[in-house]
Chains A and B, each alone.
Chain A
Amino acid sequence: MEKSPEQHKYKNSFLNWIEFRLPIVSYIEKEYKDYPMPKNCNYFWSFGALATILLVVLIVSGIFLAMNYTPHTDMAFDSVERIMRDVSYGWLLRYMHSNGSAFFFIVVYIHILRGMYYGSYKYPRELNWILGVFIYLLMMATSFLGYTLPWGQMSYWGATVITNLFSAIPLVGDGLKTWILGDYTVGNATLNRFFALHYVLPFVILGVVGLHVVAVHVHGSNNPAGIDIKSKGDTVSFFPYMIVKDTLAVCVCGVAISVIIFFGPNLMAEVDNYIPADPLVTPSHIVANWYLAPFYAILRAIPDKLGGVVLMFAAILILFVLPWLDTSKTKSCNYRPVYKWFMMLFFVNFFVLGYVGMKPAAGTYLLIARIGLVYYFVFLLILTPFIGKFEKPKKIPASISDILKDNNLSKSEHESGMH
């Protein structure tokens, strides 16, 4: 202890050896053991951990799938089926991967929804939100690329429709499209590069997720009340209090995902994708992956191709500036009596957009898509800045401890009232 006190920080001498050369042990201790979590956080705060775990599951299963997959237009479909039939537990790998990606989106959507409802994107966590939107963008690109790989009918025609969007861009559009495809139409060159990109992008996502986590640990997690941590009494340490909640969340999510993987592995898939790609036969209606459907609905709601593309990208990019569109100082919607309901409507609207995105763009569906599209933008561009200026927020408690005290008080009152 005389020379360098750091050397004897831990009982385990191996840890001391590591710590002295690379202070990773104290980093993990600080960020994942002692890290203070607001103690009023509900289970919505477990979805970040769930998403990270799902990402790892996707990457690991994906690596094993890639070992058995052949990115060639003549062989891709059969190689996927070979994985399902002849590779040991290949069906499990593939169903984990395909359904895992759907669950990844569900979990991330709930994570985003939580961030919006409780105002987690506001000062001082704006950069964190931006990184999150960036992850979401990367996820959409990755899932689109992955959807192409089995080389079924939906793979082929989905890739054709989406890459065709680029040709709507004036002047450079056609050239850009050819550059992306590596050919004039979706073909073997396209499949090869999509596979390469689908393999690498998840690691980029993992990297941005790392930044996302580091960034949130700088100022600490937000909480349902949206108020800052005032004292140590407001928090619990990450280990064991949050870990135990996250583990419980993993178990619940595990049951849900297992039900799908083992008892309905194709419920979330398009049946047409079990028909090998055929450039001469167009499916009766081409649908996007359901988790991208809201944006597909926006795309098709506009009769003009370029207009649709612009609005679709705008719908995603606008999320980057949400922290500056929201003018309210109050974070949590729990204390925003007016905005709260418009926020809820926004979630429902997004859901409805997804639904009509899966339906043919005609008649009532088209009308609903257009109304939904208008609300999407009106909410973000008009309602969010406007309501923030004029809304009178409810009285915010002084500290997190006060909320819990009030809760316990009302609970005990309630109980004594029962007797």
Chain B
Amino acid sequence: MKVECINMKVLLLTFLFLMPSFCILASSNDAKMPKHEWSFGGITGTFDRASIQRGYKVYREVCSGCHSMSLLYYRDLIDIGFSEEEVKAISAEYTVQDGPNDEGEMFERPARPSDRFVSPFANEQEARMNNNGSYPPDLSVITKAKKHGADYIYNLLLGYKEPPEDYEIGEGMYYNEWKEGHQIAMAPPLDEGYVDYDDGTENTLPQLSEDVTTFLVWSAEPELEVRKKLGIKVILFFIIFGIFIYISKKRLWREIH
């Protein structure tokens, strides 16, 4: 009886631990993706606000030339430390089509904080037309849409290299160590000094990449900080409540055993 009990317990543990994790195992075939130290990582990690703001500057000055972020509103920028006035000023730099007005005409007006981020291209066809036939993906949730998330984006931005000698690279394509198949249509988007930071942070390539990745993770998971904070409370509740229940269980069952 004892032995069988242990058998079943081992089996249960195997299932409990392996079932959720085996999908991760099953999906991660390149475990060599280098891990970067992120401010938002770990159980209590929070976003480095300054880094997100710098990252937004990188996005605005470089990435937004081709990549949309259509799930974001300008008002969302308040969450990363911009004041309402600043957000108004930022959104006013963009033009959106509105209407029809009382005369039945469509008209253009400056964007407001309640508008979504203005996309660089009117539609997918225009985007492809301007990018050698490739479609620059929307970046709103890109870190959730790629395996290894933030690490992938960061490594990708640093991963441009000369192709190996025997490697045949396609017309207008670039070699990138971390892209699946190593061919990427995006030209190296960042390099040292591409964006000037207002806060005096050094604008090296790794710094630019880290900042823009932090911005993208915030964009994909704006709830991250609230989520982790609430998580600690919920787990503590279950643990403390569980301890009381465990004690009651022991006392209740003492006479039975």
Residues of A within 8 A of B (CB): 39, 42, 44, 78, 81, 84-85, 91-92, 95, 102, 106, 109-110, 113, 117, 224, 236, 240-241, 244-245, 247-248, 251-252, 254-256, 258-263, 265-268, 270-272, 274-275, 284, 287, 290-291, 333-334, 340, 344, 347, 351, 354-355, 358-359, 403-404, 406-408, 410
Contacts and interface: CB of A to CB of B under 8 A. Distances in A.
A394 to B, nearest CB: 10
Contacts of A95: 227
B230 interface: yes
Interface stretch (B84-92, B98-106, B201-209, B232-240): B232-240
29 contacts: A81-B140, A85-B76, A85-B222, A91-B223, A110-B12, A244-B249, A245-B249, A247-B245, A251-B242, A252-B242, A254-B238, A258-B231, A258-B234, A258-B238, A259-B235, A261-B231, A263-B231, A268-B20, A284-B180, A290-B22, A333-B4, A340-B7, A347-B11, A347-B15, A351-B15, A359-B26, A403-B1, A408-B257, A410-B2
Nearest to A260: B20
Interface string B220-231: 101100011011
B44 to A, nearest CB: 10
Contacts of B256: 39, 236, 241
Q: Which 3 A-B pairs have the closest CB atoms?
A: A262-B231, A251-B242, A358-B26
A147 to B, nearest CB: 14
B158 to A, nearest CB: 21
B252 to A, nearest CB: 6
B43 interface: yes
A271 B26 CA distance: 13
A112 to B, nearest CB: 11
Interface of B: 1-2, 4-5, 7-8, 11-12, 14-16, 18-20, 22-27, 43, 71, 76, 137, 140-141, 144-147, 180, 220, 222-223, 227-228, 230-232, 234-235, 238-239, 241-242, 245-246, 248-249, 252-253, 256-257
Contact of A275 (B26, B145, B230): B145
Contacts of B141: 81, 274
Contact of A344 (B11, B222, B227, B245): B11
A275 B7 CA distance: 43
A355 B223 CA distance: 32
Contact of A355 (B4, B22, B234): B22
Contacts of B23: 267-268, 290, 358
